[in-house]
Amino acid sequence: MPPERASVPIYRRLAGMTPQMVLVPTILASVIYVVLFSLWTIWISLSQSTLLPDMTYSGFDAYFTLWQSKRWTVAFTNLFVFGTLYVLGALAMGTLLAILIDQRVRFEAFWRTIFLYPLAVSFIVTGTVWRWIFHPQTGVELALKDLGWIGAKFDWISDRDMALYVVVFTAIWHASGFAMALILAGLRSVDSDLIKAAQIDGASMPRIYRRVVLPTIWPIFVAVAVVLLQFAIKTYDLVVALTQGGPGVATTVPAIVVYDLMFQRGQIAEGAAAAVMILLGLVCVLIPYGLWSSWRQRKEGGKHG
Amino acid sequence: MADMTQRTEFDPLATGGKGRQRRARLTVYGLLGLFAAIYLMPAVIIFLNTLRPLEEIVRQGFISWPGSMSLHHWSEAWSSFCIGGTCEGVSRYFTNSLLMAVPATALSTALGLVNGYVLSKWRFRGDAWVFGVITLGVFLPAQMTLLPWAFVLGKLGLSNTISGLVLVHTVQGVSFTTLFCRNYFLNVPDDLIKAARIDGAGFWRIFRRIILPLSPPILIVTVIWQFTGIWNEFLFGTVFTSGANQPITSAIVAFSGSGTGERHYNVEAASVIMAALPPLFIYLVGGKYFVRGLTQGAVK
């Protein structure tokens, strides 16, 4: 310790600590929120809690019960089907829109604004509006009947086998503008010499996109897919507003099961176990992605990330 | 990087023969028009239905041109529509959402600004860890925090209050805002800060004189992102509040989800539009920044 250190008055030394002091509230809040809350929920999932917390340790009982319940396995399968179709659909739609806009169209900002506005609208509003449109008593089916087609039938939303695809469609409507925005930014970052060279070689536009442009921006597709997968795993509001998980359990997703177990059925431990499973799902997506992107950055000699 | 500058060197629609050019242009604009119609359709349908008489909607459904129009469903939706037993219209829940989103946005943005400044310009030992824990909050699913929050809010006497929601959203939002601001301030040259320190400027002085004047772009992005996210949030609102204290998203589910009683589709449609308007307005005004927030929030 240098001797002059001791003679520095206490307020001076505290003033030197200002940066760290400023962070204290956030650090406290974040540690409580991220670490403590997570451990707390994990602990509840290992306890005997039902309607009220009962912290007697009971091992993985809640997890066994959860995985044996039909509701959860259906929700889990639904998430796989929904997640896959949603991510692929939004990517395909986003790519198509981005390529269309990339053709030096007039009023580009106008088109972009139209395709991106669903993202500013909440899932609740989106779900409510599309439910009206899809519902046989208010939407497309009634309109067709009103036009004179008496036998018209369009009841996917109340059909056990089709309702999930209604959710997929609506979710793609909501998210494809987002995919478009990111992919368009990617398309614009492609070196135009590359495209010119391909053009001189006589390649047609669709071919240039397929063979030259899209392959060079594939990391963007991975990034968008990861974000969309995250959305998919967390999906809750949209399903609540659109189908409430029904008909029956046809469109139930894990986040709905968590809410029901915790706040409707009074099975806190099982609900917590389901929440932990959602966390694990996210971890399975994010950790490989994080490792992969930091590996890529190191390979390319990037400085921070 | 998110600024979408036009590529000027090259115009794909101006290649090939005349006929091919015309066909290509037709395809592109045709498809764009078709998709634009699909994207806009729900908004148009819902808006038209706020003007139609109820019996017409019940008879013909939502997808039909209005026979007669009237604006009074809007005033009914705003001030006298009955939701969950209280007949004060959407205005009450709209106010709740404002009282929740505005303070939570302001608090989380202010904290994020200062945090980002410290974590990018006042490096200390272990700062990477601190940053790591804070940003983990971005990814933590809300379901993991529901039970602890319920307990904590109960202990603080904030159950079923808007202040409780402000607290929840601020704590959750700080993760986002810190991440945004820190990444933005990394681009501010360190030499600028160093020079100011040599001139004797302290922590807050540098913040006021150098960082704040450079902040407006990231401030706008953060405010838009936070406000939209908090306004549109549903799960916390439903779990931690009930009845007259709910934010507008929960109120919409409360009236449109309940299958009982007579439906007032036109008034409901107007309410739904009211719930969507604030974020939509922000999106239309600050679209450029909205997209910038997306790219930053998503890819980083």
Position B3 confidence tier, pLDDT thresholds 50, 70, 90:
very low
Examine the pLDDT at A5 and tell me if it is beyond 60.
no
| In chain A, residues 60-89 whose CB comes closer than 8 Å to chain B | none
Chain B hits for A220, Cβ within 8 Å: 299
Mean of the per-residue pLDDT values of chain A: 87
Position B10 confidence tier, pLDDT thresholds 50, 70, 90:
low
Q: How far is A3 from chain B (nearest CA, A)?
A: 23
Q: For B137, name the nearest residue in chain A, comparing CA atoms only.
A: A34
Q: Give the span between the Cα atoms of B253 and A123, in whole angstroms.
A: 11
Chain B hits for A20, Cβ within 8 Å: 118, 124
Position B104 confidence tier, pLDDT thresholds 50, 70, 90:
very high
Strand partners, B86: B83
Q: Give the span between the Cα atoms of A126 and A162, in whole angstroms.
A: 19
Q: What is the pLDDT of residue A11?
A: 67
Examine the pLDDT at B63 and tell me if it is beyond 90.
no
Q: How far is A74 from chain B (nearest CA, A)?
A: 19
Chain B hits for A43, Cβ within 8 Å: none
Look at A182 and B298 and tell me if their CB atoms are within 8 Å: yes
Q: For A12, name the nearest residue in chain B, comparing CA atoms only.
A: B202
Q: Would the CA dihedral through A226, A176, B45, B48 be positive or negative?
A: positive
Which range scores top for mean pLDDT: A88-92, A246-250, A283-287, B215-219?
A: A88-92
Q: For B112, name the nearest residue in chain A, comparing CA atoms only.
A: A26
Examine the pLDDT at B36 and tell me if it is beyond 90.
yes
The shortest CB-CB distance from A185 to any of B1, B111, B147 is to B1
**Which of B143, B174, B224, B253 to mutate against chain A (most A CBs within 10 Å)?**
B143
The answer to whether A237 contacts chain B (CB < 8 Å) is yes
Chain A hits for B175, Cβ within 8 Å: 30
Q: How far is A49 from chain B (nearest CA, A)?
A: 12
DSSP of A165-210, one letter per residue? HHHHHHHHHHHHHHHHHHHHHHHHHS-HHHHHHHHHTT--HHHHII
The answer to whether A125 contacts chain B (CB < 8 Å) is yes
CA A217, B35, A87 angle in degrees (round to 5)?
Answer: 45
Chain A hits for B167, Cβ within 8 Å: none
Look at A240 and B253 and tell me if their CB atoms are within 8 Å: yes
DSSP of chain A, one letter per residue? --THHHHS-HHHHHHHTHHHHHHHHHHHHHIIIIIIHHHHHHHHHTB--SSS----B-TTHHHHHHHHSHHHHHHHHHHHHHHHHHHHHHHHHHHHHHHHHTTT-TTHHHHHHHHHGGGGS-HHHHHHHHHHHHSTTTSHHHHHHHTT-TT----GGG-TTTHHHHHHHHHHHHHHHHHHHHHHHHHHHS-HHHHHHHHHTT--HHHHIIIIIHHHTHHHHHHHHHHHHHHHHH--HHHHHHTTT-STTTT--HHHHHHIIIIIS--HHHHHHHHHHHHHHHHHHHHHHHHHHHHHHHHHT----
Which range scores top for mean pLDDT: A10-14, A140-144, B80-84?
A: A140-144
Q: What percentage of chain A carries pLDDT values higher than 90?
A: 46
Examine the pLDDT at A65 and tell me if it is beyond 80.
yes
Identify which has the larger pLDDT, A254 or B68.
Answer: A254
What domains sit in chain B, N to C, each tagged with a CATH number? 95-247+271-299 (1.10.3720.10)
The shortest CB-CB distance from B175 to any of A30, A199, A224 is to A30
Mean of the per-residue pLDDT values of chain B: 85
Q: What is the pLDDT of residue B197?
A: 85
Q: What is the pLDDT of residue A74?
A: 94
A32-37, Cβ contacts within 8 angstroms, sequence gap of 24 or more: A33/B137, A33/B140, A33/B145, A33/B171, A33/B172, A34/B133, A34/B134, A34/B136, A34/B137, A34/B140, A35/B133, A36/B148, A37/B140, A37/B144, A37/B145, A37/B148, A37/B149
Position B170 confidence tier, pLDDT thresholds 50, 70, 90:
very high
CA proximity to A99, closest of B7, B297, B295, B286? B7
Cis peptide before A19 (omega within 30 of 0): no
Virtual CA dihedral for B23, B27, B29, B33, nearest 10 degrees? Answer: 150
**Which of B147, B179, B190, B246 to mutate against chain A (most A CBs within 10 Å)?**
B147
Residue A116 one-letter amino acid? L
Half-sphere exposure of A192 (CA within 13 A, CB side): 10
Identify which has the larger pLDDT, A173 or B244.
Answer: A173
Q: What is the pLDDT of residue A196?
A: 82
The answer to whether A185 contacts chain B (CB < 8 Å) is yes
Q: Give the span between the Cα atoms of B175 and B167, in whole angstroms.
A: 13
Chain B hits for A101, Cβ within 8 Å: 32
The shortest CB-CB distance from A103 to any of B12, B141, B235 is to B12
Q: What is the pLDDT of residue B34?
A: 94
The answer to whether A175 contacts chain B (CB < 8 Å) is no
Q: What is the pLDDT of residue A151?
A: 81
Position B1 confidence tier, pLDDT thresholds 50, 70, 90:
very low
Report DSSP state, residue B29: H
Q: Give the span between the Cα atoms of A98 and A171, in whole angstroms.
A: 18
H helices within chain B, ranges in order?
18-49, 54-60, 72-79, 91-121, 127-139, 146-155, 162-185, 190-198, 203-206, 212-214, 216-232, 235-240, 248-257, 265-285, 287-299
Look at B139 and A286 and tell me if their CB atoms are within 8 Å: yes
The answer to whether A240 contacts chain B (CB < 8 Å) is yes
Look at B140 and A38 and tell me if their CB atoms are within 8 Å: yes
Q: For A138, name the nearest residue in chain B, comparing CA atoms only.
A: B61
The answer to whether A246 contacts chain B (CB < 8 Å) is no
Chain A hits for B275, Cβ within 8 Å: 122, 124-125
Q: pLDDT tens digit string along A238-296?
A: 999 999 887 888 899 999 999 999 999 888 999 999 999 999 999 999 999 989 988 98
Q: pLDDT tens digit string along A253-262?
A: 999 999 999 9
Q: Tell me what the mean pLDDT of segment A144-162 comes to.
A: 84
Q: pLDDT tens digit string along B222-260?
A: 998 899 999 999 999 999 998 889 999 998 888 776 555
CA distances from residue A215 to A190, A195, B107 in whole angstroms, order as listed: 10, 12, 43
Q: Would the CA dihedral through B296, A122, A264, A281 be positive or negative?
A: negative
Q: What is the pLDDT of residue A2?
A: 47
Q: pLDDT tens digit string along A114-146?
A: 999 999 999 999 999 999 999 888 888 888 888
Position A303 confidence tier, pLDDT thresholds 50, 70, 90:
very low
What domains sit in chain A, N to C, each tagged with a CATH number? 71-300 (1.10.3720.10)
Identify which has the larger pLDDT, B196 or A54.
Answer: B196
Interface predicted TM-score (ipTM) of this complex, two decimals: 0.88
CA distances from residue A93 to A5, A119, A129, A178, B37 in whole angstroms, order as listed: 64, 14, 21, 10, 15
Residue B253 one-letter amino acid? V
Chain A hits for B232, Cβ within 8 Å: 121-124
Q: Give the span between the Cα atoms of A175 and A86, in whole angstroms.
A: 9
**Phi, psi for B83 (deg, rounded to 5):** -125, 120
Examine the pLDDT at B4 and tell me if it is beyond 50.
no
Reading phi first (left if > 0) and then psi (alpha if -120 to 50, else beta), residue A203 is in: beta
Q: Tell me what the mean pLDDT of segment B3-24 comes to.
A: 63
Half-sphere exposure of B253 (CA within 13 A, CB side): 27
Chain A hits for B13, Cβ within 8 Å: 103-105
Position A14 confidence tier, pLDDT thresholds 50, 70, 90:
low
Contact between A122 and A242 (Cβ < 8 Å): no
Examine the pLDDT at A91 and tell me if it is beyond 80.
yes
Under DSSP, is residue B271 helix (H, G, I), strand (E, B) or coil?
Answer: helix
Chain B hits for A259, Cβ within 8 Å: 143, 235, 239
Q: pLDDT tens digit string along B114-169?
A: 999 999 888 888 888 888 888 888 889 999 999 999 999 999 999 899 999 999 99
CA distances from residue A36 to A42, B99, B144, B171 in whole angstroms, order as listed: 10, 28, 11, 13
Examine the pLDDT at A12 and tell me if it is beyond 70.
no
Chain A hits for B104, Cβ within 8 Å: none
Look at B60 and A146 and tell me if their CB atoms are within 8 Å: yes
Look at A263 and B239 and tell me if their CB atoms are within 8 Å: yes
Chain Cα centroid distance, residue B34: 27
Q: What is the pLDDT of residue B255?
A: 79
Chain B hits for A36, Cβ within 8 Å: 148
Look at B141 and A275 and tell me if their CB atoms are within 8 Å: yes
Q: Give the span between the Cα atoms of A138 and A154, in whole angstroms.
A: 11
Look at A244 and B228 and tell me if their CB atoms are within 8 Å: no
CA proximity to A129, closest of A117, A146, A145? A117
